[in-house]
Structure 1
Amino acid sequence: MDATGKRLNVVFSTDCIKYPLTGIGRYAFELAKQLQEREQLLLTFFHGTKVRDSLAVASESAQSIQSVKRRLQKSKAASEIYRLTYPVMKTIALRNFKDHIFHSPNYYLPPRVKHCVATFHDLSVFHWPQFHPAGRVHLMQKELRNTVSRAAMLITDSHYTKKELIDFFGVENDKVSVAPLGYNEQFRPRQETETRDVLNKYQLKWRNFFLYTGTIEPRKNILTLLKAFDSLPTNDKRALPLVISGYKGWENEELFRLFRKGESEGWLKYLGFVPGKELPHLYSAANCFVFPSIYEGFGLPVLEAMASGTPVICSDATSLPEVGGGAPLMHSPEDVDTLTAHLKLMIEDADEKSRMTALGLARAQQFSWSRCADKTIEAYEQVAKFI
């Protein structure tokens, strides 16, 4: 509620809640679920150019819609028409909501819409443009600069990203609110019997594999992980293979060649995109979760693995130390030798694994989607002062 005790009118964009539900989509969905339960808000959902009263769930049936969009994107003329007209259509669709707060959970804000809030998940398109498809970088940079100028308030997932925003754009400190991400109740320690069906589906054994989940793209630094894993003794890596789950991103031809090599040698298994309901079972059944990413605005998989009672190895880059809080084993992103040593420790030292599990579970308790919603509403209240 605002300072007068009135409920806050909020229009929440759900464009990023689509199949496959990757990190930002999951953030938007979990946050929206929390926000719609809060009595101090009157929440309206905005998808494309349509206003909805209820939250749509991303489903696999949406694949056909995404394939149509991909075909459109391949046509330069259609893509250009879409780029020029779509923002105007969104602005027109929002013209009856001038007394509402508009929140985009995925960077983009349409033009000439007042009282806007946007979530900035990272600044990789500026700091690491090579981690994005070249054709998209200039447009993304332009749109993000527009967002900074249009937003009444910005939200980040981490203090690391807040500092980046302030340093890079000169944004005032009190214009940026930090709302750390959370994890849902499905990510928890499980008994072997609970995971059996999922393990059988993928022909995996309880606590007998290392796990990586995330989009297959350069920023995730999977090449370093493959080098480290391949340097383990043959018996070790075959006994505890590396399991990789993730949506096929971009610029990954070389990685998939190495995936095939690892699979043929019996130490790697690529599962493709794993349905959301199965992912928590894989986390809790893994011997260890490995996440060597070069750049993260938060690093949600690290939190979900800790909440699942699984030891974590991750890089010490960007926001990951802030999320891990001392629970994971860490390495510099390009340090193959240290990563290899950490992998060996997780094979050989059961006591260290138990210690890390306890630390991870304790650390995970400090994060929740409810707290994320609380911090988000604080940002809304700042904007409401000027409505």
Structure 2
Amino acid sequence: MKDTYVLDARTATPHFPGIGRYVKNLVQAMPPLLAAEEELAVLLDPQHSGQFVQEHVRRSQIVHLHAASSPFTLQQQWQIPQALRSLKPGNNALVYHSPYYLMPYFLATPAVLTFYDLIPLFFPHYVSPRARLLFRFTMRMALRTAQQILSISQSAAQDLAQYFALDPQRITTTPLAPDPCFCPQPQAEIERVRQKYGLPAGFFLYFGINKPHKNLPALISAYADWRTKAALPLVIAGAWDQRYPESKQLVAQKKLAEAVTFLGSMPDDDLPGLYAAATAFIFPSRYEGFGLPVLEAMACGTPVACSNTSSLPEVAGDAALLFAPDSPSAIAHALSQLMDAPTRLQMRDRGLQQAAHFTWQRTAQQTLSVYRNLVKNPAGP
């Protein structure tokens, strides 16, 4: 008989790219850490799991548990517990791990929940009052169901504990990490990406979505005020939400069309080369549950400047230039500092060291420790 840890991978779809990467990396890193009396089961939605199985979980030591209900349906409230019960007779202990707050809320099995951020509550203008109410209700249900919560940063853990009045002992910080593909790139790869997107020899880079908390207008305003004839161009990459046109409007208003380039979405395979091609990476976000792009850029050897708010100082350590995100002069000062070659070299070395502290093996080991503690004490702390 084995202890079985069930990782719910139903949200590992293109609709949830961040959660998909989280689940993928846990699935890849955890099996070598399992003891002989332990096994990992991956809960899959057969309608959407084909590619995920093919790419990430086709391994003999991983059990594939199929359940046809989506996280967005009521059916999961009885189908998932039924699927979990099917494992119980042949196993010693069972722990269920949901990487998303839409989950089965009536479980006889000890449960773990991964928490990312409170953006729908901290930035209420993103969503309708009905959606905020639904988020608050379903999050409370998830927190009531889970004996243990995994938070992707200490900052996010503090937000969660304060907002929902949780016992901090129920929360364990298990940081994210860059994918192994994010590393210093060969010159040939840098040139390939540069030519593909028509990039200049040197540029400042922002990568991320354009939602208001990302604070792109502040970066563009600071860049406009700071820019000189010798200044580097600014490249903005990442998925574009048409509901928030302010950044592009500001570029037009400031007459920056020749200096600011919007690349939009791009394949994951091009991201390491994009980071490595940049002279420096700028991340002005007002709030992040973790801020993974900061680590991705560092892992590629790119100097970083980022906001001094939420989780970003925790993630960046002393390896980034920090600035107040609502101060254009502070952002402009960071841009000026990054024009200095010795400063960039120092930040590059620090960034590589900082990024090396975050690995999926370490995160998987911390996650596994939470599972094992729940086996010993199913009621939690």
The amino acid that maps onto 1:13 is D
Task: State the TM-score, normalizing by the size of structure 1.
Answer: 0.84
Q: State the distance in 2 between where 1:37 and 1:20 align.
A: 29
Fraction of identical pairs, as percent: 32
CA 296–343 in structure 1, closer or farther in 2 if over 3 Å, else same: same
Q: Equivalent residue for 2:120?
A: 125
Code of the aligned partner of 2:229: N
Q: Which residue pairs with 2:39 in the alignment?
A: 42
1:351 alignment counterpart:
342
* 2:224 alignment partner, one of 221, 230, 243: 230
**Which TM-score applies when normalising by structure 2?**
0.85
8 Å contact from structure 1 (residues 316, 330) kept in 2: yes
Shift of 1:36: 3.5
Q: Deviations over 1:364-383 (max 9, x none)?
A: 11110110101111111121
Question: Structure 1 residues 209 and 16 mapped into 2: Cα distance closer, same or farther (>3 Å)?
Answer: farther
Whether the 8 Å contact between 1:49 and 1:93 is mirrored in structure 2 is: no
Aligned CA distance change for structure 1 residues 106 and 90 (closer, same or farther; 3 Å): same
Question: CA 1:119 to 1:214, structure 2 compared with 1: closer, same or farther past 3 Å?
Answer: same
> Is 1:307 aligned with 2:299?
yes
Please state how far the C-alpha of 1:255 moved relative to its aligned partner: 2.7
Tell me: CA distance 1:52–1:124, structure 2 relative to 1, closer, same or farther (3 Å).
Answer: closer
Look up the equivalent residue of 1:294 and give its one-letter code: R
Q: Are the structure 2 counterparts of residues 211 and 153 from structure 1 closer, same or farther at C-alpha, using a change threshold of 3 Å?
A: same
Count the aligned residue pairs: 357
One-letter code aligned to 2:359: S
Alpha-carbon distance in structure 2 between the residues aligned to 1:51 and 1:153: 28
| Structure 2 match to 1:185 | 180
Instruction: For 1:147-162, list aligned pairs within 5 A.
Output: 147-162=142-157
- Asked if residue 106 in structure 1 is aligned to residue 97 in structure 2, the reply is no
CA distance in 1: counterparts of 2:150 and 2:245, whole angstroms: 35
Equivalent residue, structure 2, for 1:380: 371
Q: Which residue of 2 aligns with 1:72?
A: none
Q: Do the aligned residues in 2 keep the contact of 1:243 with 1:269 (CA within 8 Å)?
A: yes
Q: What's the counterpart of residue 63 of structure 1?
A: none
Does the 8 Å contact 1:45/1:54 carry over to 2?
no
Structure 1 unaligned residues grouped into runs of 5+: 1-5, 60-81
> 1:262–1:268: 8 Å Cα contact kept in structure 2?
no
How much does 1:83 deviate? Answer: 4.8
Counterpart residue number, 1:325: 317
Alignment correspondent of 2:236? 244
How far residue 210 of structure 1 moved from its aligned partner, in angstroms, is: 1.0
Partner-residue secondary structure (3-state), 2:33: coil
**Shift, 1:131, TM fit:** 4.1
Report SS of the residue matched to 1:96.
helix
Cα distance in structure 2, aligned partners of 1:11 and 1:198: 39
The residue aligned with 2:215 is 221
**For residue 279 of structure 2, what is the aligned residue in structure 1?**
287
Quote the offset at 1:165 in angstroms. 2.3
Matched, 1:369 2:354: no
Selected match of 1:176 from 171, 188, 212:
171
Equivalent residue number for residue 267 of structure 2: 275
Distance in 2 (CA, whole Å) between partners of 1:42 and 1:214 is 36
- The alignment partner of 1:363 has SS state of helix
Q: Which amino acid aligns with 1:228?
A: A
Aligned partner of 1:73 in structure 2 is none
Structure 2 gaps of 5+ residues are 57-71
Shift of 1:197: 1.1
Question: Cα gap change, 1:139/1:83 in structure 2, threshold over 3 Å: closer, same or farther?
Answer: farther
State the one-letter code of the partner of 1:101: V
**3-state DSSP of counterpart to 1:139:** helix
Q: CA–CA distance in 1 between the matches of 2:295 and 2:159?
A: 21
